[in-house]
Amino acid sequence: MMKRYEVEVTGRVQGVGFRAFVEQTASQYPVTGTVQNRPEGSVVIQVQGEETEIEQFLAKVGQGNHFAKVEHMEKKEIPKKEKEGRFSTIY
């Protein structure tokens, strides 16, 4: 079943290439959405797709890249977006 989640990621996730890592990771899964820095230092991901694909994507994101350190990920379900075509970074 198609779902959409907003996931707030905290830890060392800004200034370390984490958004690019998330976008590149998303390209490996059939998911759409966005990734964006928040002013207080966290990163927010909105991801849409099948539940199993989202879980696999988030598991990979939780591992971080070589420079990022994910400390916590908080996920909440949000309304789906129709006709969203890809995953992208919001600057």
Q: Which residues are tagged catalytic?
A: 19, 37
DSSP for the chain, please give it: -EEEEEEEEEEE-SSSSHHHHHHHHHTTTT-EEEEEE-TTS-EEEEEEEEHHHHHHHHHHHHH--SS-EEEEEEEEE----TT---EEEE-
46: left (phi over 0), alpha (psi -120 to 50) or beta: beta
